[in-house]
Amino acid sequence: MSGDGRVVAVAADDRHRFGKPTRKWIELVAGQGVAGDAHAGATVQHRSRVARTPNAPNLRQVHLIHRELFAELRQAGFVIAPGALGENVTTAGIDLLALPRGTTLRLGQDALVELTGLRNPCRQIDENIGPGAMAAVLERAVDGTLIRKAGVMAVVVEGGVVRPGDSVMIERLPAEGLPLEPV
């Protein structure tokens, strides 16, 4: 195991709203996501995706975002706090965006999640954070490739309670090293 990240905040909401209120703890349930969260389930739960492919597997059970993005957004003039972008777990000290698809992360003592892809930012970011916020979570690499910085999505492999202050450890890196893509 490696990594020296930690959980800064956790959030969940039983309704489909953009932001999520922070909590003292959340429970991750294997194959489902965050207990009591509107996005928990074995099949897709995001309303736009349910309308198109209701029986597709839910690759977005848990949304993780790096606290370092919040500092960038504050420098750009946005008021931002954990849960505001709809994430379930806010981390620090680990470069989530650089990890390959299939990486497993141990959150606290018991919970294990597997990264499935990137969160694809949508216009709701501008509507809820402020005009220009969506552009602020997107960037272009030197080669012109779009970089999405709004966090990563994961499925729950092993359940457990996750709290602020818990460690975030890279448990396994996949041999293939496939880059994260929007899910």
Domains and CATH numbers, the chain: 2-172 (2.40.33.20)
The amino acid sitting at 60 is R
User: Of 112, 104, 102, 93, which is closest to residue 170 (Cα–Cα)?
Assistant: 104
pLDDT tens digit at each of 183 positions of the chain: 455 899 999 999 999 999 999 999 999 999 999 999 999 999 999 777 777 888 999 999 999 999 999 999 999 999 999 999 999 999 999 999 999 999 999 999 999 999 999 999 988 999 999 999 999 999 999 999 999 999 999 999 999 999 999 999 999 999 999 999 999
pTM: 0.95
What pLDDT shows up at residue 122?
A: 87
162, two tokens:
């996750």
Go through the chain and tell me how many residues it has.
183
